[in-house]
Structure 1
Amino acid sequence: MVLIGEIYDAGFDPARFPALLERLTGHFDASSAFIGWVDEERDAGFQAQFGNDPAWMASYAETYHQHDVLLPHLLKLGEGDIATAHDLLQQPDIRAGVFYREYLAPQAIVDNLAAVLVRRPGISAHISFLRRGDAPPFGPEDIARMRDILPHLTRAVFVQSRLIRDSGLAQGYRQASSVLSGSLLQLSDDHQVVELDTDLGRLVGLRVGEGLRRTPIADAVRATIADGLPHAAELTDPAGEPLRLLCEARPVPRDRFADLVSGSATAFIVHVTLIDQPRRIAWPAMAALYRLTPTEARVLQDAVEHSDLTEIGDRLGMARATARAHLHRIYAKTDTGGFAGLTGLAHRFAMAGPADG
């Protein structure tokens, strides 16, 4: 059945849902349709509609949601349940309420066919169709048609939820990588580039869809994939400057679900760190932790940033003997015993992200 194929096409591509809802609206002789779900576990969610007036949808969200007399009945439905609202809308107390008088009646809504696609802890999804004007209410044949396609709609929701979650994770990995002064390179089983950060591709001459060529970074990537250990590479950037990189690879567990998606699947994620990129030190945090005075904090930062002890006093406008005294108090408070230990400790306070400038 063509309609079933369209349901699964939409499951893999959310941009297809409005067109799918248009088809389903015709399938049920309805005026409009809405589908929505929230997956708290995967931090995913989606909604799409067809045929609804945007102004009325906005007024529902802003004003009438709190008066929705149909919502409690929908929330009582279990997964796989289907219900219509025509009989409920004939009740005098419903017709006398604000939701009917100000929201349903002005739109000439005569019935709502709703189905719960998913009702589980952390995830819920439903689809609904409206009939307006002189249209008859939904009948048993409409419920039967809904029951035929409901399992497929439910599977499409799970497919889309999974894809949204995985897309969000990939974006999170990319953001985390950029914050940590590095870049991500994703490779397939045969070492084809599946995805990479734009800046990294420009620096090392890699493109999506291409294989690893015989270059220093490619050799380092192959080595880290082979033995699981970090490997460094030295090359020249497009400006002719030396560029030193550290590559660390992690295999991605295979998931047969991924084979349903077109294109090469990611088998390895390689984190590429720019070795020579300066890092910011959290000086205030370090000073607070070791209870340094404001002057000691200034001496600490100056000493580490300049890697020079003899000129601290000159740079900070104090006698050299005074600067040395502050420095020795810093050694004592941090229990480092000397400048080498102090420098090593300071770099443990490196902040996420590259240095400014």
Structure 2
Amino acid sequence: MLFTATSEATRWIASPQTTDFFAQFLAAGCMAKNPLVERGVRREHAGFLTDLDLFTYDELDAEPMYDYMRRIGGGWHLGTAIAVPNGDTLVVNIERRHRQGAFLREQSEHLDLYLPHLARAALLATRYTQSRYETTVGDLEALGLAAAAVSLNGNLIARNAGFQALMPSLVQDGPSGLVVTHQTAQAQVQAYLARTRSAPDTAPGASIPIPAEPGRGLAIVHLVPVSGAARDIFVRTTCLVVIKMVDTENLPSSRLVKGLFDLTPAEARVVRDIARGPGVPEAAVQASVTEGTVRSQLKQVLAKTGTSRQADTAALLHGISQIRRVESENTSGATT
């Protein structure tokens, strides 16, 4: 079996004979308290090691993890740990049933002949994975979107020029990973990443608004979880971060918004007001109505537009304005 164990997840692949065994091992939570990997990595031995290189017989008999592995069909190991460029550790492990007896030192030395090839393969795989991240954010750059790929711990893996241009005023690459300079938005981003770490394959996306400040307009941070292909041990579970700077001067007209989503005139007006950046209190003042009225209208708008939050509705309107602007430019070019 091959696996990479990180703080985010354990990604692995195994031969058919050991797939069920390793799945049981992970489901029992044994990876979190695996003394074999811990001792093997700490040993820093450039080659394969057996259980008896790391433990005495008495230690093995007293170790709960070994007792569990013997009961589910394993019990003896021959493996090595390879450091890969992205900071992870690749573990190559061969499993043997306990009744077959321990692996021998000469078997380790025979497999050491293959270690340089395994290390080169791991290097190529991680470089290819990195290129995939860079290609993804580069494609978004071509669409005019500032984007980055981050791990679910917040570490920046790749970023395009548009995202770089927003650093360090709006986002930063801090010691602990991605930092959004607006405090409330930063807390929301970190909370989202924490939720996605616990359920990476089912987490939905999110849109987080960053209020305008002097010298900078309203921005919306879109978060989209991206899981690696099944059994791809080199692909970290990541999240795409796309930042859209909002042009509040080019929103679609109230008439267009009203027609697209079957809104009332009051609902169309309030959704345009919210999309410009003001909150509910400011929108209520502008419309000369109560905050309760604005909230009620917004509730109807969310239902009619199929969105769940104000930020999503604002993003929808800005997307419409972007489409209309591109269509206008294309028409103008064709006429010319």
TM-score range normalised by the length of the shorter chain: 0.3 to 0.5
In the superposition, the TM-score normalised over structure 1's length comes to 0.39
Q: Whose radius of gyration is greater, 1 or 2?
A: 1
